[in-house]
Chains A and B, each alone.
Chain A
Amino acid sequence: MKYLNEVPIGSTVKVQKIEGMGPVKRRMMDMGLTKGTEVTILKVAPLGDPLEIIVRGYALSIRKAEAKCVVVS
């Protein structure tokens, strides 16, 4: 299984599943990270965390710790 935090910058992947539960998972799904959604990793913040990703046509920032819960392919 591959996770969103392991994906190289600039590449586009598809969300398979969000692991975990509760507010963090719901929040990520609310923001559009649902099964089958295409996600592009745009960049990493100057200090190495968080990430900036493009999902459903807009820019979203999530921490690496949260990206670790997103299974992608």
Chain B
Amino acid sequence: MKIRIALTGNPNSGKTTLFNALTGSAQYVGNWPGVTVEKKEGRYRAQKEVTIVDLPGVYSLSPYTLEEVISRDYILEEKPDAIINIVDVTNLERNLYLTTQLLETGIPVVIALNMMDIFNKSGDKISIKALSQRLGCPVLPISALKNDGLDPLMKTALELANQKKKFEAVHKFHPTVETALDKVEKILYHNDNANKDLRWYSIKVFERDDKTLKKLNLPRDIVKDIENIIHNAENLLEDDSESIITGERYELIEDICSAVLQKKQTGLSVSDKIDRVVTNKWLGLPIFIFVMWFMYFISVSTIGTIITDWVNEEFFEVIVTDAATSFLESAGAAPWLLSLLVDGIIGGVGAVLGFVPQIMLLFFFISILEDCGYMARVAFIMDRVFRRFGLSGKSFIPMLIGTGCSVPAIMASRTIEQDRDRKMTIMLTPFIPCSAKIPIFTLMAATFFPRNSLVAPSMYFLGIAMVILAGVLLKRSALFKGDPAPFVMELPPYHLPRPKGVLIHMWEKGKSFIIKAGTVILAGVIIIWFLQSFDWSFQMVETDQSILANIGHAISPLFAPLGFGSWEASVSIFTGFLAKETVVATFGVLFGIAEATEETTGLYPHIAALFTPVAAYAFMAFNLLAAPCFAAIGATKREMGTWKWTFIAIGFQTGLAYLVALVIYQIGSAIFYGTNITGAVIVSALIVGAIVYLLFKAYMENKKAVAQN
């Protein structure tokens, strides 16, 4: 018989550690359909027929955040056989808040009282028996980190699961609330959806929980009757019903805690002392800058680059390519197959896989920061800056990583809890120029602005300016409109990172990049290779005769208003989707210069013939902002969860790139070359005017809002 046990608890309560300890290595990560939050499922080490489901860490089962809705939908709809509620004993009050809600779902609950080792050392005392009595469910002390008490915990959980009995919560609220709940229960008894879990539904209906009311779809007269009952209780207790229940829960918990806990008064904990320094008014920022610099220095600019370069230039370009070539040639493979495997797949996928070491290193550091508790402080320190343009303090890390590669940057946005902030971060992070875009800027700057050292770096400023501008504008768009997400965030106590957890996290990130992004990239690579190697009669030809060249000719008029309407430029933009490095390489192929890099001076005259300097700058801006490479699009799809949002992101990026390039070329040409004022120039001027107006409006509204407060 199959048994499913759900694992729930607050964030930072040691849930993941317990999950890893219970499942060992037999775990996999799966996505919930349509959403980006991960659900983990694993098999219990000792009994493989038992599935353990790791639900997202939540503080409550309120209907407001994605994670909470996922957790409660899983519990109510999928009905696991038992719930293990992991409770951090060193933070009992807040942890038990979720427990009181879980106990009302009707599913049997076992409490795993975690961090007992730390608790015992502190000298505090707890009566586990009394706690179990007051909550009406078994309570077992464990230490997930030290693997203590896990077998008895699972034994109890399995016993409960096998009984398949409905659980009845024993805790009661204020008499006035209970009277109201009784009345609601009597009404709901006749509703088919609600009468299986009456206690849960009557509390939720009493709280006026939107999601529940929608699900029950009660007739209008019944809603009116219930509304009367709620009003009555609200008048008596002088608060709204949702707050009454929340307050009642905490009062109940305070009562329980004072009965079962004996706290020894202690001074500052080690964690408090660390925090005094780390988020200190004066030292906070310098320490933050140092930590970020160190992480970046190791994983992006030194060790990471060395390994990535070796993988790209030695491993894939020389070792694998040579081996594959000689093998295929000796096997007498057809030239097209050789070309597909070597130029297409090994070249394309290899360029992407080269980033795996960098990604793993970055996630090694990110896991450490998250595990030790510093990540919450990063958000704490940077929130003020990023909030101004609609992002969260946690958006800083993706933006920083984005200077190396957009793929891990987009993946790093996972740490942002707020759905809106996360989506916006994913959309805006690719504006930060990644290392693969640098050769484009270098080539263009060297060709057209050899004496101006500011042109290439100006792309960074343009990228940052666009993040801010787009952030301010997007925040006001229908997609992201609404009240600002609350920034009510726990600052968890510091602790030493656990090597095992850090390594698992790092490996999972690397693996998911290889698998998920890899499938998208592989398909993309094959398509582009096909287009650039064949003509319409499916004969193998040079690139300038290929279907891709044809497409280049066809789409080049689109880019004419931006100043780069040549088919070569169009083709290079197209191949840029493969990997931004290939933009320069494509010019090399098209002009018959093998192995072209941004330092190949032979390329300069050819490039100079294609662009005017202003058009070259517009070309740089377009490449900076337009849809990122396949790997980054794959990562976007993975983190956004749906194709709809992926296309919104790509469409927004490319659309903005087009507008910016248009404005640069048209207005730039009018100013520097005195070209005639045409329709396109007027349109560009209007775009600039509209953006300035919107920004001004946003600024004035912001000022008004500040003044009102």
Contacts and interface: CB of A to CB of B under 8 A. Distances in A.
B59 A61 contact: no
B40 to A, nearest CB: 24
A32 B483 contact: no
Interface in A20-61: 21-32, 34-35, 37, 43-50, 52, 56-61
B130 to A, nearest CB: 19
A56 B93 contact: yes
B504 interface: no
Contacts of A32: 93-94, 97, 250
Nearest to B62: A26
A57 B257 CA distance: 12
A31 B488 contact: yes
Contacts of A22: 64, 483
A42 to B, nearest CB: 8
A2 interface: no
Per CB-CB distance, the 6 closest pairs between chain A and chain B, nearest first, are A46-B284, A30-B60, A59-B491, A23-B64, A47-B384, A29-B246
B489 A66 contact: no
A5 B65 CA distance: 25
A59 B487 contact: no
A27 B240 contact: no
A59 B380 CA distance: 12
Contacts of B379: 61
A65 B97 CA distance: 25
B62 A61 contact: no
Given A22-B483, A25-B243, A27-B64, A63 B709 contact: no
B385 interface: yes
A45 B243 contact: no
B490 A59 contact: yes
A50 B483 contact: no
Contacts of B247: 29, 34-35
Interface of A is mostly: mixed
Given A24-B483, A65-B484, 6 more contacts: A25-B243, A45-B381, A46-B280, A60-B488, A62-B489, A66-B487
Contacts of B121: none
Given A22-B483, A45-B381, A46-B285, A28 B491 contact: no
Contact of B709 (A23, A30, A65): A65
Interface residues of B, number: 44
B486 interface: yes
Chain A interface size band reads: 35 or more
Contacts of A68: 709
A45 B279 contact: yes
A31 B246 contact: no
Given A46-B381, A50-B380, A28 B250 contact: no
A61 B493 CA distance: 13
Contact of A52 (B242, B385, B486, B491): B491
Nearest to A63: B487
Contacts of B60: 26, 30
A66 B486 contact: yes
B380 A45 contact: yes
A43 to B, nearest CB: 7
A30 B246 contact: yes
Contacts of B508: none
A56 B94 contact: yes
Interface of A: 18, 21-32, 34-35, 37, 43-50, 52, 56-63, 65-66, 68
Contacts of B487: 50, 61-63, 66
Contact of B486 (A24, A34, A47): A24
Nearest to B706: A65
Nearest to A5: B709
Contacts of B285: 46-47
Contact of B380 (A28, A48, A52): A52
A63 B383 contact: yes
A44 to B, nearest CB: 7
A22 B483 CA distance: 10
A57 B91 contact: yes
Given A37-B250, A44-B281, A50 B486 contact: no
Given A47-B384, A56-B94, A34 B246 contact: yes
A29 B243 contact: yes
Contacts of B492: 59
B376 interface: yes
Contacts of B242: 26
Contacts of B343: none
A68 B706 CA distance: 12
Contacts of B370: none
B395 to A, nearest CB: 15
A29 B251 CA distance: 12
B234 interface: no
A52 B64 CA distance: 23
B67 to A, nearest CB: 12
Given A34-B247, A35-B247, A49-B384, A60 B491 contact: yes
Given A30-B60, A34-B246, A52 B490 contact: no
A27 B246 CA distance: 10
Interface string B143-185: 0000000000000000000000000000000000000000000
B240 A21 contact: yes
B317 interface: no
A30 B491 contact: no
Nearest to B376: A61
B374 to A, nearest CB: 13
15 contacts: A21-B240, A23-B64, A23-B65, A23-B486, A25-B243, A28-B486, A31-B490, A32-B93, A47-B285, A48-B384, A52-B491, A58-B493, A60-B489, A61-B380, A63-B487
Contacts of B65: 23, 27
Interface in B245-269: 246-247, 250-251
A28 B300 CA distance: 38
Of listed B60, B275, B387, B488, residue having the most chain A CB within 10 A: B488
A47 B381 contact: yes
Interface in B378-400: 379-385, 387
B415 to A, nearest CB: 15
A59 B274 CA distance: 13
Nearest to A49: B384
Contact of B64 (A26, A31, A59, A63): A26
Contacts of A28: 486, 488
